[in-house]
């Protein structure tokens, strides 16, 4: 999540549209990876179902914000 946050800050401060799209694509890939890890954590019961639902909905909102 720290990497995603760092990329969000980089995208915010980037003036070049092409570079910004590239960074947003990286953010999207990393957030998808986090979703997979969360799903695995839920499947092996490392996190409770309710926590998974909460985290997943927050990640979906982040995805909407970045346009992914």
- Cα 65–Cα 62–Cα 55 angle in degrees, nearest 5: 160
The percent of the chain in helix, strand and coil, each rounded to the nearest 5, is 85, 0, 15
Distance, in Å, from the CA atom of 39 to the CA atom of 21, rounded to the nearest integer, reads 27
pLDDT tens, 37-60?
Answer: 999 999 999 999 999 999 999 989
Please state the separation of Cα 47 from the chain's center in Å.
18
What's the confidence (pLDDT) of residue 35? 94
- In angstroms, how far apart are the furthest CA atoms of the chain? 43
């Amino acid at each position: 999540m720290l990497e995603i946050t760092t990329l969000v800050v980089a995208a915010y401060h980037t003036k070049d549209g092409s570079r910004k799209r590239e960074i947003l694509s990286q953010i999207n890939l990393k957030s998808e990876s986090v979703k997979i890890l969360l799903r695995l954590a839920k499947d092996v019961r490392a996190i409770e179902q309710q926590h998974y639902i909460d985290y997943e909905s927050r990640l979906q909102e982040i995805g909407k914000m970045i346009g992914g």
